[in-house]
Amino acid sequence: MELERHGRHFQEELEQLKTRLLEMGGLAEEQVRLAVKALMERDRELVALALNGDEPINRLHIEIDGRCFTLLALHQPMAVDLRAIVAAVKINTDLERVGDLAINIAEAARRYAQHAPVKKLIDIPRMAMIAQTMLRDSLDSFVRRDTDLAQRVLNEDDKLDALKTQIFRELLTYMLQDPGTIEAALDLILISRHLERIGDHATNIAEDVIFMVSARDVRHHAGEGQPSH
């Protein structure tokens, strides 16, 4: 039905938009992976790579925004197509922020490498893996309009929160026992919060997907929302 109304051209444009968002998601995920690898390996070159890697994401951010405007203006989509494009606008913003957070992680990794390591890092790479998977799954759920997968993303968020709290408590103990670790431990705490926020962005995306598919608003436990049309 949508296909008939808007014609093949619109659907092709929409597919291209999705491809671009997936591409951007892949870049953002790679940036996070790189920043955390730079942290783990205390590697200056990797830090530099991560710090300078946001350019393609920023270019895509602007391009995708432009595509959304064009689709809205030229094709005046309705119902699920309209919701898909508005979701794309929001997802685009979320992915750009993930890119920014990867930069923040790389900056903290650079500082961290200037101090003696506080401890063997186990929970931070674990958080990174969870956040990256959430990000990938949230985008897959968008492309496939898969609300079950989106719901699984929402369920993962508690794990990140628990790990963040655990990391905080452990590092606090280190700081109290040895004030010489304070500066380095602070950077690890900040990194764990950046990773938590990456999970929050994946959560936002998953919520947008559920709204897009079902016109049901799961934010703020709103229950049954108003279908937009």
Residues that bind its own copies (CB under 8 A): 58-59, 61-62, 65-66, 68-70, 72-73, 76, 78-79, 82-83, 86, 89-90, 93, 172, 175-176, 179, 182-183, 186, 189-190, 193, 204, 217, 219-220, 222, 225-226, 228-229
3-state SS class at 222:
coil
Task: Choose between 8 and 220: whose C-beta lies nearer to its own copies.
Answer: 220
Distance from the first to the final alpha carbon of the chain: 15
Amino acid, single-letter form, for residue 183: E
CB nearer to its own copies: pick between 83 and 110: 83
Residues 6+ apart with CB under 8 A from 69: none
CB of residue 57 to its own copies, shortest distance in Å: 9
* Nearest distance in Å: CB 43, its own copies: 25
Return d(Cα 110, Cα 44) in angstroms, integer: 7
User: In the chain, count of helices (H) and strands (E)?
Assistant: 7, 0
Measure the CA–CA gap between 213 and 15, rounded to whole angstroms: 16
- Residue 48 CB, shortest distance to its own copies, in Å, is 19
Which of 38/184 has CB closer to its own copies?
184
Produce one character per residue of 94-128: b if its CB has 16 or more CB atoms within 10 Å, e if not.
bbbbbbbbbbebbbbbbebbeeeebeebebbebbb
| Least spacing, CB of residue 221 vs its own copies, in Å | 9
In the bound state with its own copies, the residue whose beta carbon lies nearer, of 129 and 157, is 157
Q: How far is the CB of 41 from its own copies (least distance, A)?
A: 26
Task: Give least dist CB 164 to its own copies, A.
Answer: 12
Containing 191, the helix (H) or strand (E) segment is helix 182-214
Residue 171: closest CA among 186, 191, 159? 186
Whole-angstrom distance, CA of residue 175 vs CA of residue 183 = 9
Which CB, 37 or 119, lies closer to its own copies?
A: 119
Q: Minimum CB separation from its own copies for residue 37, in Å?
A: 24
